[in-house]
Structure 1
Amino acid sequence: MNGVPHRSPNVVDIHLRRGAKGLGFNIVGGVDQPYVVNDNGIFVSKIKQDGEAAMDGRLQEGDKILAINGIMLADRKHNEAVDLFRTSGEHVELRVLKKLPVHMNGSTESQPHFEPSVSSRGLLAALVGATAIVAFIYLRHLRKMA
């Protein structure tokens, strides 16, 4: 595949043959539906059991798909990426950026390192703030009625 700048050790090419049920994985992301903060790429969201990707074993949930059959997926809408997968033919060559392992307390299990678009603390702070404002307005209203 040409057109991909620097080749990293975390970038691999995976050849899959489309089975009766497709390639055997789902994708998320795109410029119109970002999955990862500050990254509008296309990511593997699910590997289907007994699908082609699962039988191959190299593609994993959380991997970023950089290109399909030499066509870069950067800066594409989600439905454009889906269309490229649907029309990719029987033999599909994927260029994939493997998810990086995250080591926590010495654990060797790898997990995707993605930040949610809205933090839990930020959401909780907004909820507490909104509750405080409503309570203030309600109490002020009660005082005026008394």
Structure 2
Amino acid sequence: MSAGSRAAEEEIELIRGPSGLGFNIVGGTDQQYVSRDSGIYVSSIKENGAAAVDGRLKEGDRILEVNGVKLENLLHKAAVDLFRSSGDRVLLKVRHQNHLNGPLGSKSDRDSEGTSLAAIVVPVILAAVAIYAFVKFRQRSARF
């Protein structure tokens, strides 16, 4: 990935509120969110939580570090434990993703194998249903 196409990185300090840091994560070596990528990603931001009030963290962002600890090659549970034990003031290093395309980034950053199975299967099923309905309609209307 060239420097011009690299997603922006930012450090964000959050202060833990009554409902925690106010976001959920996905990913890890045992629960890859992106094919062949064991990174930790923000899956949702809780309304009125610390992350939402701050406003910089977005769904799909990759969390690179928590309080200086790199989130590389961790099981999902280990990442969760790291967040839970991180204290009241938490410094996150994040890589903002292209939010129009979600955590996979821009099309040029993706593997061609990253195509969603649903994007292929659904149109094929719809076409099959349409053909079946057309044939049945023709059989019915051809009767005298």
TM-score by length of 2: 0.69
Instruction: Select the residue among 36, 39, 55 that pairs with 2:37.
Output: 39
Q: Does 1:112 align with 2:102?
A: yes
> 2: distance between equivalents of 1:29 and 1:100?
18
Amino acid corresponding to residue 98 of structure 2 in structure 1: L
- Gaps of at least 5 residues in structure 1 are 1-5, 102-109, 128-146
Instruction: Select the residue among 10, 13, 16 that pairs with 2:8.
Output: 10
- CA shift, 1:89, in A, is 0.1
Instruction: Select the residue among 63, 81, 84 that pairs with 1:83.
Output: 81
Pairwise mapping of residues 51-66 of structure 1 onto structure 2 (< 5 A)? Answer: 51-66=49-64
> 2: distance between equivalents of 1:67 and 1:52?
18
- CA shift, 1:100, in A, is 1.9
Aligned residues: 113
Aligned CA RMSD, in angstroms, stands at 2.6
Alignment deviations for residues 58-84 of structure 1 (CA, whole Å, 9 cap, x no partner): 000000000000000011000000000
Is residue 18–residue 52 contact of structure 1 (8 Å, CA) maintained in 2? yes
Partner of 1:100: 98
Percent identity, aligned pairs only?
Answer: 46
Is residue 34–residue 103 contact of structure 2 (8 Å, CA) maintained in 1? no
Is residue 13–residue 96 contact of structure 1 (8 Å, CA) maintained in 2? yes
Is residue 37–residue 117 contact of structure 1 (8 Å, CA) maintained in 2? no
Amino acid corresponding to residue 57 of structure 1 in structure 2: G
Note closer, same or farther for the CA distance 1:51–1:59 as it changes in structure 2 (3 Å cut): same
Q: Does 1:20 align with 2:18?
A: yes
> 1: distance between equivalents of 2:60 and 2:85?
23
Is residue 44–residue 60 contact of structure 1 (8 Å, CA) maintained in 2? yes
- CA shift, 1:111, in A, is 3.5
- CA shift, 1:121, in A, is 5.8
